[in-house]
Amino acid sequence: MIPLLATGHGLNDLVAGYFLGQMLWMKLETPEIALGLFVYNLLAFGGQYPAALWIEQKKKPGQFIRAAMVMNGIAVLVFTQIHTLALVLAGVASAIYHVAGGAVCSRNNRAGSIGLFAAPGVAGLVAGGWLAHEQINIYLILAAAVLLFLVLLQFTSIPEREPVTATSDSKQKHGLDNHDILMIVLLVVISLRSVIWNVLQLTHENDYTRLPAIAGSAFVGKIAGGWIADRSGWRLYVDISFLRPHHY
């Protein structure tokens, strides 16, 4: 089940990367491109927390995984005619798939499972962008892949999480606890590392040929990192991961 959901993660991000790459190569006005990129990122990343609340409280993750892939399929079909709508659908689908798939793969609280699920994401994103840059038409392939994935999901038993019933303790809880603050700090650090070492450095050197190397390294690193974290403990693993070599 986890390898299948990991494959879906790569497919989800492949669709997004291809759309974003195509937006940059279309003969569109700069404000329209900027708006499309902003809307996608707002939905795909900003929408993950609302999606998490919805999935945790109301629905089952398996249903959301299927719904996200249906949205991706519709987005592929309408992108060439209504690319703004396609970006909205892809953004919502991305937020839902990341949260729902992550919730299923993290049920056993093993970093290795989470690493396996996360690994194909950046590879799919970079591959989609590269295919768009090379102007390779893969719309039919994407549509067929999404359809095949939905068929496979029908024959896969995805463990569901029962809706959470609010308790008196949860109702009395207000604000952020220490765990929430730690997660926010880690997310900020990860975002800054990605901006500095992946975006600003490559842009400054005008060297985009290293993107596939970054994608491959991230793919291997997430799988290996999850395996190591399960055996070394998350504190030691996080401390070591900050010791990342870089140059300017």
- Contact assessment for residue 26 and residue 83, using Cβ atoms and an 8 Å cutoff: yes
Instruction: Give the helix/strand (H/E) hosting 194.
Output: helix 178-194
Say what the pLDDT of residue 115 is: 81
Instruction: Identify the CA nearest to 104 among candidates 3, 11, 216, 172.
Output: 3
For 26, the 3-state DSSP assignment is coil
- Spatial distance between the Cα atoms of 50 and 90, rounded to a whole number of angstroms: 16
Say what the pLDDT of residue 130 is: 83
Say what the pLDDT of residue 168 is: 44
Instruction: Give the helix/strand (H/E) hosting 162.
Output: none
CB atoms within 10 A of CB 55: 21
As a CATH number, domain 2-160+174-241 is 1.20.1250
- Look-up of token digits 């790459």: 21
Amino acid (one-letter) located at 180 = D
Predicted model pTM: 0.75
pLDDT in tens, 92-140: 999 999 999 888 887 777 777 888 888 888 888 888 888 887 888 999 9
Q: Which residues of the chain have pLDDT under 50?
A: 162-174, 195-196, 199-200, 203, 246-248
Instruction: Identify the CA nearest to 214 among candidates 100, 122, 132, 113.
Output: 122
Largest pairwise CA distance in the chain: 57
Say what the pLDDT of residue 170 is: 45
Say what the pLDDT of residue 27 is: 65
